[in-house]
A and B are shown apart, each in its own frame.
Chain A
Amino acid sequence: RKEVEQDPGPFNVPEGATVAFNCTYSNSASQSFFWYRQDCRKEPKLLMSVYSSGNEDGRFTAQLNRASQYISLLIRDSKLSDSATYLCVVPSSSGAGSYQLTFGKGTKLSVIP
């Protein structure tokens, strides 16, 4: 299994729809997880952190299933402004107490009027 794997999409959904993205990770020792959002030709920006079973922030819900090594991101009531690539991110230990981020390839979302 690749370290972090995502469905690349694209997901084309109408405004107001609910959409879910899935991500699997290979390192069973991972303790924290992130979803980053990246707009076209821009830098990644942190959307949500997930440390326990899940996290909710407005229309966005992230869930973690440690047994299955699976993370999901749910977006409710999609807005045009949600169109972006969503990156699943897992910190990987580099040894000596430091961590680097391992990114999935990203899932592209297009919200259509």
Chain B
Amino acid sequence: GAGVSQTPSNKVTEKGKYVELRCDPISGHTALYWYRQSLGQGPEFLIYFQGTGAADDSGLPNDRFFAVRPEGSVSTLKIQRTERGDSAMYLCASSPLAGPTDTQYFGPGTRLTVL
């Protein structure tokens, strides 16, 4: 079946601009996660959705970052006033449930470059 999809695959923007990154999880998966991966690092947790609500946003670095999942399926990560330090790979993952043994399936990521 279809896996997690993310668009765009690459996004280049200028410092100070607003960007939106989209994630389409595996159908039927209630848990959705956003991670950010910088070069040479492992992915770092940003935010977790259970259904439509953000159950844990403790990983968001500051209030320029926001994410929504209005209908419990597609999610959008929004970054305001982008900074060069926001450049990274943004990964979305989904899982059927949110337990410690539930496999998270990752999308191909959006590579964000802020000039």
Q: Is the CB of B100 within 8 A of A32?
A: yes
Q: Which of A14-22, A66-74, A98-106 contacts B (4 or more CB under 8 A)?
A: A98-106
Chain B hits for A103, CB < 8 A: 42-44
Docked-complex contact A104 and B98, CB < 8 angstroms: no
**Which positions 32-55 of chain A face chain B at CB distance < 8 Å?**
32, 34, 41-46, 49, 51
Specify the main secondary structure of chain A where it touches its partner.
Answer: strand
Query: B75-107 toward A: CB 8 Å interface, digit per residue (1/0)?
Result: 000000000000000010100001111111111
With A44-B43, A91-B100, A105-B42 already in contact, the answer to whether A100 and B107 are too (CB < 8 A) is no
Residue B8 at the chain A interface, CB threshold 8 Å: no
A98 pairs with B106, CB closer than 8 A: no
Interface size on A, residues (CB 8 A): 32
Where the two chains meet, the residues of B that have a C-beta atom closer than 8 Å to any C-beta of A are 31, 33, 35, 40-45, 48, 50, 55-56, 58-59, 91, 93, 98-109, 111
Ordered by A's residue number, 20 sampled pairs between the chains whose C-beta atoms are within 8 Å are A30-B100, A32-B101, A42-B108, A43-B109, A46-B104, A87-B42, A91-B100, A92-B45, A97-B98, A98-B56, A99-B99, A99-B102, A100-B33, A100-B48, A101-B35, A101-B104, A105-B40, A105-B41, A105-B42, A106-B41
Besides A4-B42, A32-B101, A43-B91, 17 more A-B contacts (Cβ < 8 Å) are A32-B100, A42-B108, A43-B106, A43-B109, A45-B106, A91-B100, A94-B48, A94-B58, A96-B55, A96-B56, A98-B98, A99-B98, A100-B33, A100-B56, A100-B59, A101-B33, A105-B42
